[in-house]
Amino acid sequence: MRSRRDFLKLSALLGMTGLVGLSKTTPAFAAVKKQPEAIVVSTWEHGLAANEAAWQVLAKGGRALDAVETGVRVPEADPKVRTVGYGGYPDRDGIVTLDACIMDEHMNCGSVAFLQNIKHPISVARLVMEKTPHVMLVGEGAKQFALQQGFKEENLLTAESEADWKAWLKDQKIQQINIENHDTIGMLAMDAAGNLSGACTTSGAAYKMHGRVGDSPLIGAGLYVDNDIGAATATGMGELMIKTVGSHLVVELMRQGASPEEACKQAVLRIARKLGDYAQFQVGFLALNKQGQYGAYGIQPGFNYAVQNKAGSTLIDGKSLLGAKV
């Protein structure tokens, strides 16, 4: 339940950060002209290794699209990352089902959802974008397409994930997405040509209902890129990002003049205001604008993100609604 303290904090934040007048008082970004500098940002600590791989592409002058695909393949293949790809938590029936999407600077996008037994959903999503007239393939159809494209069918349920699932079966406690049972990787990059792309990939909420699809493969909810403005991605309770088309909202707020952090904050406040009981959930947004500025905001403290550019690599704690000093 939302406490009176949380309510007062939300009211204070809403009062302070209303968007009224934002587009009038804050100039659009058009006036800023400087040489673009490559940068990549991604959600959570596993973003550090993913960014490093993406940076290999960007540092050589490669395309942002190639960078984000290369980057997120790292946690997809890493069984120690329990929330993405191989080794990800299964659903209630003990089946690992994966969601992913990718979007480039030309508004091209591709997506797969409820994909099983294929280790790299992000690369399948890219091929949906490049080789089909569609944006999204799901389930068996997505798998058949992947197999036709040369992907191998493999077991993604590791012994560790299987043991955890069996332990979970004993009490079958439905888990709300809060802070410890999820962690999608969303990655946003700008290349040396100043073009933006993004990728998002996940095994979704641990022990979700079989067939559940979250925000991560949904263009606009889990990821959005507008090469004129900026890009955004999301992590946390996917249902909330779907209801608010959250990543698209963040990009539109940047279009109105908000900084990346302010845009993420406004999207979080929108969710909190509509939800009431927001204190028991986590959502986090991460955004990068066309000037290479970035920022993030979540409901709960603990949402961090990784940044890599020519200055090096860092992990930053995102600000949060419940961590705000109001």
The binding site for ligand ASP (CB under 6 A) comprises: 83, 177, 182-184, 202, 204-205, 214-216, 235-238
Residue number with CB closer to ligand ASP (110 or 238): 238
Coil/strand/helix, residue 181: coil
Strands (E), 9-83: 39-43
Residue whose pair of structure tokens reads 């990728």 in the numeric block: 199
Q: How far is the CB of 8 from ligand ASP (least distance, A)?
A: 28
26: Cβ contacts below 8 Å, ≥ 6 apart: 256, 257, 258
For the bound state, the minimum distance from the C-beta of residue 286 to ligand ASP, rounded and expressed in Å, comes to 11
Q: Which is nearer to ligand ASP, 230 or 284 (CB)?
A: 284
As measured in angstroms, the least distance from the Cβ of 287 to ligand ASP is 16
Dist CA 158 CA 189 (whole Å): 31
Q: Measured between alpha carbons, how far is 105 from 84 in angstroms, rounded to an integer? A: 25
Torsional sign, CA 118, 174, 159, 202: positive
Going through 16-92 in order, the beta strands assigned E by DSSP cover: 39-43
What is the separation, in whole angstroms, between the first and last Cα of the chain?
20
* Comparison of 185 and 225: residue with beta carbon closer to ligand ASP: 185
Residue closer to ligand ASP by CB (options 38, 101) is: 101
> What's the per-residue H, E or C state across 259-312?
CHHHHHHHHHHHHHHHHCCHHHCCEEEEEEECCCCEEEEECCCCCEEEEEECCE
CB of 230 to ligand ASP, least distance (A): 20
- Residue 132 bears catalytic tag: no
Report, in Å, the least distance between residue 221 CB and ligand ASP.
9
Output 84 or 251, the one with its CB closest to ligand ASP: 84
Instruction: Write down the catalytic residue from 184, 201, 202, 244.
Output: 184
Give dist(CA 259, CA 272) in Å, integer: 20
Any idea which residues carry the catalytic annotation?
184
